[in-house]
Structure 1
Amino acid sequence: MRVINTTSKRIGRYQPVPNLIELQLNSYRWFLEEGLPELFKTFSPIWDFTQTNYIELVSFNLGEPKYDIQECRNRDMTFEAPIKAIVRFGGRDREMIESEVYLGDLPLMTDKGTFIINGRERVIVSQLSRSAGLYFEEGVDTTMNVIVSARVIPTEGPWLEVDSDGNNVVRAQISQTKKLPITQLIKALYYFERGRGRVSLRLGDSAGKRVGEPVVDTETGEILVEQGTILTPERFAQLPVEHHDLIAKVEQPFATNDDVLRYFSKEVTLESPSADDLVGKRVLEDLVRDGEVIVRKGEKIERETARLLEAANIDSLRVLDVLRLAEATLENDPTTNAREALLDIYKRLRPGEAANEDAAKQLIYGLFF
């Protein structure tokens, strides 16, 4: 048997032990010196939903801890220091006020890279988190219908999850709240100026859009299109061709269910339509028979009405063919306009509080803008 004898020789050179907590210490130092100021800049100044008053965080300072590390251990307290900020309050028609405001207590890191929380020494364990972005998924339900879902993960603010179901209803979920029809969320966001996606387009490319600012003739100063006008085909046909190159601020209207239907549909002309062709379509004008309106403008044609129209031998009929997902989602949407949608979402997020328009505007504006 071979015997291995150990040697008494020692290596004269050795590698010093690295500072294993240097990363944690440097990270916390960066947080205090650069991270917090950058965080303040991301949301400062903070304007109210009327864009009249604002609060600006100018700077901050970290005070001295009330108790040292050993005393915090003995008293079962947190080793922390007060953080105070210089806040500037002002508005468009008011005098600016500046004062120091107490924000809260910030836990401090010890020289060992730990925190003293309620007298106990704690460390921060890094963990993976989903990166901000838009994620799509596809699958099937128990009835083998294709289910498509999407998850919107912002850098800040609540997650937004969107999915469809077997009944073709597209629903949205804000954080952990109950799901609601996505058309309701679209109308609620349109309530705010920043949620309307206003863009600059040629007037000739703006059919179906709502004018956000008056369109003025650059030569005569005449107002060609008033603010708030929807450029329907009839209104668009009234514009002279030489004005089609003017640049206009326009937005896609989503204030009402009719606006949503108009966007998610296309106009078609049915020649000698049968009952099957007409069921589910929406008419563009009132249908009158023997002086009686049988289908009003924008209403859906039901099976019985479709049979009457087929028996009438109509040569052609202009109708709206609505996207199936939009039709099913609107049928499950209890609201009809942006204000109702805003208040209904507030009730879902604050079920124990009385809903009022001002509180709803502040809550939804703070979540998404």
Structure 2
Amino acid sequence: SEREARENNISFEAPLYVTIELTNKVTGEVKEQEIYMGDYPWMTDRGTFVINGAERVVVSQLIRSPGVFFTSENAGIKKNYGAKLIPGRGAWLEFETAANGAVYVKIDRKRKIAVTTLLRALGYGSNAQLTELFKDVDTGELKHIEATIEKDPSKGTNDALIEVYRRIRPGDLATVDNARGLIENTFF
């Protein structure tokens, strides 16, 4: 019983037997036999299991597979696009476009920041560097990087480091060194 299993530090389980049938194709002889598959834990009335005398609960976990997941939404006449970067380990990045064309990113589901702020924090400090970085892909009628630079409150690498730090860790003292350490630990 369940109580005895707890008292004797054994598992509350039951043997599982399966009846199998073996047919000899040459002679047509059929042999049926019950075989032992093993002991399987028996669930208690409370939905738990007793394993080696300790009561255990099975909890299912959903784990998102690493990869990139793209989305698009109709927002009036324009479409807004998004992408989730889910790494094997490290910070999740969620990119999204706004109606004005600006591109934003959320780091680990925190508040969104302009993607240019993150890029500045990673070392692309000037507007010229950012524009050069996207010149081959930002060729549509709506210039996403220009719109994002307009909305970007940071103007250099140090500003961007502090801005990213404030968004990831609101309330903590934001210094350039703290922010640089956080960026390195989060992304590298």
TM-score, normalised via structure 1 length: 0.36
Match status 1:20 vs 2:40: yes
Inter-partner Cα distance in structure 1 for 2:166 and 2:52: 44
Aligned residues of 1:261 and 1:322 also touching (Cα < 8 A): no
Hey, what's the Cα distance between the residues in 2 that align with 1:129 and 1:17?
31
- Residue 188 of structure 1 aligns with which residue? 121
Question: 1:14 & 1:348 partners in 2: Cα distance?
Answer: 64
The DSSP-based 3-state class of the residue aligned with 2:104 is strand
Counterparts of 1:113 and 1:176, CA distance in 2: 40
Tell me the C-alpha RMSD between the 2 structures. 2.9
Report the equivalent of 1:195.
Answer: none
Contact 1:264-1:322 within 8 A present in 2 as well: no
| Aligned residue number for residue 357 of structure 1 | 176
Q: Deviations over 1:248-275 (max 9, x none)?
A: xxxxxx2212211233348xxxxxxxxx
Deviation at 1:323, TM superposition (A): 6.4
* Structure 2 letter corresponding to 1:189: L
The CA distance in 1 between the partners of 2:91 and 2:134, in whole Å, is 27
Whether the 8 Å CA contact 2:66–2:86 is kept in 1: the answer is yes
Once the two structures are TM-superposed, the CA of residue 160 in structure 1 deviates from its matched residue by 0.6
**Structure 1 residues 113, 126: CA separation in 2 closer, same or farther (over 3 Å shift)?**
farther
* Gap runs ≥5 in structure 1: 1-11, 22-109, 191-253, 267-320
Alignment of structure 1 residues 146-165 onto 2, 5 Å = 146-165=79-98
Written as runs of structure 1 = structure 2, the 5 A alignment for 1:1-369 is 13-20=33-40, 112=51, 121-141=55-75, 143-190=76-123, 254-265=124-135, 324-369=143-188
Deviation at 1:135, TM superposition (A): 1.2
Q: Deviations over 1:26-53 (max 9, x none)?
A: xxxxxxxxxxxxxxxxxxxxxxxxxxxx
Cα distance in 2 for partners of 1:113, 1:185 equals: 51
Further displaced range: 330-339 or 12-21: 12-21
> Residues of 2 paired with 1:187 and 1:353: CA distance?
21
Q: Answer yes or no: is the 8 Å Cα contact 1:138–1:146 preserved in 2.
A: yes
Q: 1:238: which partner in 2?
A: none
- One-letter identity of the residue aligned with 1:112: I
* Structure 2 gap ranges (5+): 1-31, 42-48
Q: Name the count of aligned residue pairs.
A: 148
Shift of 1:111: 8.1
Identity among equivalent pairs (%): 33
Residue of structure 1 equivalent to 2:19: none
The structure with more radius of gyration:
1
